[in-house]
Amino acid sequence: MLNFIYYPVSAIMWFWHKVFGFIISPDSGIAWALSVVFLVFTLRIILLKPAISSVRSMRKMQEFAPQMQKLREKYGNDRQKLAMEMQKIQSEQGVNPLGGCLPMLVQIPVFIGLFHVLRQFTPGKTEVYVFGQAEVESFINARLFGAPLSGSIADPMFGVDPWTIGFVAVPLTIIASIATHLTARHSVQRQAMNPSVGANQQQAQIMQKLMLWVFPLFVLFGGPFFPIAILLYWLSNNTWTLGQQYFIYHRIDREEAAKKAAAAAKAEQSRKDLSPKPGQRPAKKKGPQPGQHGPAGTTPPSAPSGGAGDAARSRPATGGAKKKNKKRR
């Protein structure tokens, strides 16, 4: 029914067993254990780019979280209108809220597929998906510090003493639960930097408690019921997640810091270009000076009629009339 999951999972595990079997030994328990670990690493490398995109999407959602909160307050009773407006903002910002769930959603079927494949390695099996009969017998007989990889404390299998399995399973379980807690703590610390968390404080606190304590306790108390190979999967997956979070968040923090520094430098340069240079007076607007004609096409203003100019022009005429009268006499 789920062969489309079982075959790819077993194929990746088969490939890495061939690699480490060539380096160490095909029947070595360490080679089989490393094949499980590198199955996880292969999956996480494939999902690295979607994981980075999901973090960027979360950062963008944090930026317009106040707008989303205003929409909730405005359309709280109209669910359909609220959903339409939220989708509109998300499409404008280029954010896909389901993108952040992709890496986790892909890991769930892989976990189920690996658990199923490992449970198929039982005596009498001639093949397990891509594994042949010789490889099935090799896995069954392989031991990691004396414990079979398919065995668990609750189900030892192959007549192995539970204490022998516990010697390997208990440390793996404790380390896996600690890694789960540290991964959740790092995620909670990043969420605390989100300004929108205060809007849903109660829901955020519930999720934080689940991540910090319930999930690690589930790994701790569920460890005795998981095969050792599953514990290896869980440990390597959480260890990778912890390192990946550190790498991705610090990379994005550096990118955002560089963008802010570039924007600040650009603004400072623009301010310097607009400000006057040292010793230079601010430029003044030039207008028509006194005694100069105005713009082309305009005529100078004429002297007012009946003023001092008219009186001055009439005086020489008065003096000439008096001289003419004297000559006549």
3-state helix, strand, coil in the chain (%, to 5): 75, 0, 25
Is the per-residue pLDDT at 29 higher than 60? Answer: yes
The model's pLDDT over 203-228, given as tens digits with 9 standing for 90+, comes to: 666 776 777 788 888 888 988 888 89
Is the per-residue pLDDT at 140 higher than 80? Answer: yes
CA atoms of 315 and 3, how far apart (whole Å): 125
Instruction: Kindly report which listed range (98-102, 156-160, 183-187, 264-268) carries the lowest average pLDDT score.
Output: 98-102
Average pLDDT of the chain to the nearest whole number: 78
Q: Which of 245, 247, 220 is closest to 235 using CA atoms?
A: 220
CA atoms of 65 and 54, how far apart (whole Å): 16
Instruction: Kindly report which listed range (166-170, 256-260, 277-281) carries the lowest average pLDDT score.
Output: 277-281
How confident is the model over 153-170, as a mean pLDDT?
A: 84
How confident is the model over 266-295, as a mean pLDDT?
A: 65
CA atoms of 155 and 223, how far apart (whole Å): 12
CA atoms of 206 and 224, how far apart (whole Å): 27
How confident is the model over 103-121, as a mean pLDDT?
A: 82
Of 46-50, 138-142, 276-280, the range with the highest mean pLDDT is 138-142
**pLDDT category of residue 23 using cuts at 50, 70 and 90:** very high
Amino acid sitting at position 176: A
State the helix-helix crossing angle for 79-93 and 48-63, rounded to 10 degrees.
120
Instruction: Output the pLDDT for position 41.
Output: 94
CA atoms of 166 and 154, how far apart (whole Å): 10
CA atoms of 244 and 48, how far apart (whole Å): 8
How confident is the model over 308-321, as a mean pLDDT?
A: 47
> How far are the Cα atoms of 25, 52, 85, 107 from residue 92, in angstroms, in the given order?
55, 20, 11, 30
CA atoms of 71 and 89, how far apart (whole Å): 10
Which burial class, exposed, middle or buried, applies to 120 when counting CB atoms under 10 A from its CB (0-12, 13-18, 19+)?
middle
Is the per-residue pLDDT at 120 higher than 80? Answer: yes
pTM: 0.71
Instruction: Output the pLDDT for position 303.
Output: 47
> Is 312 or 289 the better-scoring residue by pLDDT?
289
Q: Which residues, in sequence order, are CB contacts of 126 under 8 Å at separation 6+? A: 133, 136
The pair phi, psi for residue 325, each rounded to 5°, is -65, -40
How confident is the model over 182-208, as a mean pLDDT?
A: 65
Q: Which residues, in sequence order, are CB contacts of 185 under 8 Å at separation 6+? A: 212
Long-range contacts of 251-255 (CB under 8 A, 24+ apart): 251/52, 252/52, 252/55, 252/56, 252/59
Give me 162's structure tokens. Answer: 């539970």
CA angle 217, 220, 224 (to 5 degrees): 140
How confident is the model over 32-38, as a mean pLDDT?
A: 95
For the chain, the structural domain boundaries read 3-261
CA atoms of 13 and 6, how far apart (whole Å): 11
The model's pLDDT over 55-105, given as tens digits with 9 standing for 90+, comes to: 777 777 777 777 777 877 777 777 788 778 777 877 776 666 666 566 677
> Is 191 or 150 the better-scoring residue by pLDDT?
150
